[in-house]
Amino acid sequence: MRLTYIALTAGAIALIGAIGMGGAGPKVPVTTAMAEPTYQLQRAYEKIVQDDQPASMSSPKPLFTTVPEAQAQEPTEALRNLPDASPARQSAPAPATSRESAEPAPDQQPATPAVDESALRYFAQQGDLQRLQAEISRLRSLYPNWTPPANPLAVEDGEDEQLNAMWEAYAKGDYAIVHQLINTRRTEEPDWQAPADLLNRLHIAETRTNLLQASKDGDYEEVIDLASQAPSLLTCAEINILWQVGEAFARTDKLTRAMDAYTYVLKNCDEPQERLATMQKAMEFMPYDDMKALLSYERSSAGDTHEFQEIRDALLRDRFAQAGEDKTIVISPDDLAHMETLANDGKDPKDAELLAWYFLVRDSESAAEEWFRKARAEGIPRKSRRGSR
């Protein structure tokens, strides 16, 4: 849907421009080589460990409909839809596992999985509290019985300086350097395996970078394909990725899938400016009926005001612009009354002109004349955009 009268608010513009890969979190000064944490870091670390208690886990809802369902909606060979958040990419299925290897023997207890704490210790060494907290939350969700180390800076026997260098390059965004360091070590130590956590983070980071570049280049099929390779990017924490995916679906004529993306944000994401910006982006592409459906996810604001009143007014103006050219479009009495309120408030003289054309094409010339006079009095020239009456 073409956005006729609305422009992004300054706050939303700043938000859209600012959200991207995300930098490092707040830091406290620490010395990388030391085994004892500074008092400031230790207090901050203890607070993170105490506050970030494990929560009950529930099965995540799919971010989007599954591939088979989406293909049934649009059965074309060129369609490449996102899977849900749980399975890996279909083109690279997980290797089959036999029953014998998957299930422990009755008289055996499953082995306690080894927890890779290398990222946690590296972020602690850097004093990066935001990433440190995120890593503790991640490890607790994966290993409910895991206990964070009392001293995250303690030097373990045989500390891996080469691995620390890989984490350092990753934290700086030097992904090519990470690959180089991994390949060098594999050459030197053929039996060495890079930590799965590092490889996964590297894959996610590079996919994010490539997806944003594909969107910038207008390669929207590539955006969808890359998103399918990294479902963990399709969350509220990666709102900019969700926006790019929604736009990619819309620009490739997959409006049902674009609706999925915008609906997911409104159902699950809480940041007010991000929610408003999502509606503004959706309004650029989605038809009127879909926008009305998205408004159903509006949340109550302070003073019983509509969260998306700005969107409601813009949508109404667009509807009246269409109704001023097509007399078959039906406007409800409530919408007509609200449009008249907007016009009488005098904030935009074009509101009066919209009403004038609405009445004129419905042969209500007296009402049209009244609103044309008001529009001219408020600054609209005698010859409107459609010519002289």
CA distance 22 to 237: 10
pLDDT at 369 over 60: yes
- What integer pLDDT is reported at residue 382 of this predicted model? 52
Q: How many structural domains compose the chain?
A: 1
Residue of 310, 309, 331 whose CA lies nearest to 320: 331
Residue 300 three-state SS = strand
- What integer pLDDT is reported at residue 51 of this predicted model? 73
Residue of 191, 194, 188 whose CA lies nearest to 165: 194
pLDDT at 89 over 60: no
Q: Would residue 239 count as lying in a domain? A: yes
Stretch 106-121: mean pLDDT = 64
Residue at token pair 């891996």? 160
CA distance 50 to 34: 24
Contact (Cβ atoms closer than 8 angstroms) between residue 342 and residue 371: no
pTM of the model: 0.63
Q: Would residue 280 count as lying in a domain? A: yes
What are the angstrom distances between the C-alpha of 339 and each of 276, 306, 344, 346, 386? Answer: 21, 16, 9, 11, 20
- What integer pLDDT is reported at residue 87 of this predicted model? 35
Tokens linked to 245:
């995916």
What are the angstrom distances between the C-alpha of 234 and each of 208, 230, 314, 346? Answer: 10, 8, 28, 42
What are the angstrom distances between the C-alpha of 351 and each of 12, 26, 181, 242, 306? Answer: 24, 48, 62, 33, 20
- What integer pLDDT is reported at residue 52 of this predicted model? 64
Q: Would residue 302 count as lying in a domain? A: no
Give per-residue pLDDT as tens, 34-85.
Answer: 444 566 777 777 777 777 654 443 433 434 333 222 222 332 333 334 543 3
Q: Would residue 77 count as lying in a domain? A: no
Residue of 181, 158, 170 whose CA lies nearest to 204: 170
Q: Which of residues 103 and 355 earns the better pLDDT score?
A: 355
Q: Which of residues 9 and 312 earns the better pLDDT score?
A: 312
What whole-number percentage of the chain has pLDDT above 70? Answer: 69
Domain that holds residue 281: 1-20+195-289
- What integer pLDDT is reported at residue 196 of this predicted model? 87
DSSP 105-123: -TT-PPPPPPP--HHHHHH
What are the angstrom distances between the C-alpha of 74 and each of 225, 255, 262? Answer: 16, 11, 19
Contact (Cβ atoms closer than 8 angstroms) between residue 297 and residue 279: no
Q: Would residue 204 count as lying in a domain? A: yes
Contact (Cβ atoms closer than 8 angstroms) between residue 70 and residue 258: no
- What integer pLDDT is reported at residue 134 of this predicted model? 83
Q: Would residue 161 count as lying in a domain? A: no
Specify which of 89-93, 123-127, 157-161, 183-187 reaches the highest per-range mean pLDDT.
183-187
What whole-number percentage of the chain has pLDDT above 90? Answer: 43
For residue 387, the 8-state DSSP code is B
Give per-residue pLDDT as tens, 8-25.
Answer: 333 333 333 333 334 444
Q: Would residue 236 count as lying in a domain? A: yes
- What integer pLDDT is reported at residue 381 of this predicted model? 62
- What integer pLDDT is reported at residue 95 of this predicted model? 37
Specify which of 28-32, 192-196, 212-216, 297-301 reaches the highest per-range mean pLDDT.
212-216
CA angle 182, 202, 209 (to 5 degrees): 130
Give per-residue pLDDT as tens, 233-287.
Answer: 998 989 999 999 999 999 999 999 999 999 999 999 999 999 999 999 999 999 9
Q: Would residue 214 count as lying in a domain? A: yes
